[in-house]
Amino acid sequence: MVCPSSLRRGAHVVVRGGVPMIDIQRIREDPEAVKEAIATLGAEAPIDEIVNLDLKRRKLLQELEGLRQGKNETSERIGRMEPGDERQGLIDSMSGVNARIKALESALRGNEDALQRAMYEVPNLPDASVPVGADESENVVLREEGRLRKFDFEPLPHWDLGPELGILDFERGVKLSGSRFYILKGAGAKLQRALIQWMLDLHVSDHGYTEIYPPAIVKEQCMWGAGQLPKFADNIYRDVEDDLWLVGTAEIPLTNLHRDEILEAEDLPISYVAYTPCFRREKFSGGRDVRGIKRGHQFDKVEMYKFILPEESYAALEQILEHAAAVCRALEIPYRVVQMVTGDLGFTAAKKYDLELWAPGSEEWLEVSSVSNCEAFQARRTHIRFRREKGAKPEYVHTLNGSGLALPRTLIAVLENYQQADGSVIVPDVLRPYMGGMERIALEN
């Protein structure tokens, strides 16, 4: 089943003084439908608590604002009166009202804090087109492109190939920083740099993105805005002294680039591409993927990001997927497109595709891109809106993101797919201009 159609639309209501998540209006109107949708994610959210807090909030507001109105009127009268007994009497009479107002304000503050906390925990709801499924095992492979190369020798995994070529060093990485760190060296480091430069150039010149160099360390607020907090706190590196957080993806600074702005409709879509290092503690990956460089605490990524009109966001999702696929095609490496089911959507996406490159040595499909439509989820959290025309009410934009692509994994795919019987690696045609014309990585390099 898909999420009820009543959940797909809705006015854009913001919690006063706070930041919303999904539209609270949807919860007010049909809390049961929201709960059903969240159940398909395999997630939990305090919907009943939100409904109660929201009711309570409006009750408090009405009483409080009524009292404030009376108070304002009385203060005005006092200001116009000559000094005297009557005036003093009015002033004295205000103290009771003020005490009540203070009490209500305090209650309202507590109520809104609780409401906002609860709202922050609500995940984005799935788009109607997303298949319902419990977890990643039910994800749907939509298509596979490119021919798997036939090897007349046993292709090596990169963790053998790299060290033998002298371009990858695990021991020294561990010496410097511990497990899940490694060193790229010589042509290996250069190959990664070439990939980054080439991908950035491709997205800028062929796909119309504007290149951004953002901070990789951001304020806590940015983490909430992009949807990293509250859920993923344990996976984020943080400088406690200055309360700055290391980004796990460029999606975080890019989302926040237009925080608290009202954009002009004619400026949309805004398309950014950014290269950043990414830092993840990988607290939840346990002993998974410890071999090789597939999952490190630090990696590089080129990320595409779009701010767009709501009615155009789903077409844009397919487009970004194509932009990521274009990288795979140009590298001439087989890839496949996987659609996430509801249970594997994550916290922020309404619909998501993964793009995977085949790695013949490791013998697995490597996730090198994740392409998501977050609809207005991140825009609500960051207050990014647009106006359809002058004087029109601001509406939330939709945001999308997609890796284009994630680095060490793309590097793995290049090494493993282009390896030769003699242990050397052919440099893909598109990268040669970025490698100073180098055609092959061999030991003597």
Interface residues with RNA (CB under 7 A) are: 13-17, 58, 61-62, 65-66, 68-69, 71-76, 78-80, 91, 94-95, 98, 109, 262, 385, 390-391, 393-394
Q: Give me the catalytic one of 280, 380, 381, 385.
A: 280
Question: Strand order of the sheet with strand 262-264?
Answer: 262-264, 385-387, 395-396
Q: Whole-number minimum distance, CB 252 to RNA, in Å?
A: 18
Q: What is the dihedral of CA 40, 42, 48, 50, to 10 degrees?
A: -100
- Using the minimum distance from each CB to RNA, give the nearer residue, 60 or 165: 60
Q: Where are the beta strands (DSSP E) in 58-200?
A: 140-145, 168-169, 183-184
Does the annotation count 171 as an active-site position? Answer: no
- Using the minimum distance from each CB to RNA, give the nearer residue, 61 or 233: 61
Q: Give me the catalytic one of 29, 282, 332, 367.
A: 367
- Using the minimum distance from each CB to RNA, give the nearer residue, 93 or 210: 93
In the chain, the amino acid numbered 3 is C
Q: Whole-number minimum distance, CB 260 to RNA, in Å?
A: 10
Q: Where are the beta strands (DSSP E) in 61-126?
A: none
Q: Whole-number minimum distance, CB 14 to RNA, in Å?
A: 4
What gap in Å lies between CA 126 and CA 343, rounded to an integer? 10
Between vectors from CA 20 to CA 16 and to CA 21, what angle results, nearest 5°? 170
Q: Give me the catalytic one of 100, 295, 387, 432.
A: 295
Tokens of 3: 């999420």
Does the annotation count 440 as an active-site position? Answer: no
- Using the minimum distance from each CB to RNA, give the nearer residue, 6 or 72: 72
Q: Give me the catalytic one of 121, 395, 409, 416.
A: 409
Q: Whole-number minimum distance, CB 387 to RNA, in Å?
A: 7
Does the annotation count 271 as an active-site position? Answer: no
Does the annotation count 5 as an active-site position? Answer: no
Structural contact between residues 255 and 225, judged by C-beta atoms closer than 8 angstroms:
yes
Residues 6 or more apart whose CB falls under 8 angstroms from that of 376 comprise: 12, 23, 310, 396, 397, 398, 399
Q: Give me the catalytic one of 271, 313, 370, 403.
A: 370
Does the annotation count 100 as an active-site position? Answer: no
In the chain, the amino acid numbered 39 is A
Q: Whole-number minimum distance, CB 277 to RNA, in Å?
A: 15
Q: Catalytic residue numbers? A: 280, 295, 367, 370, 409
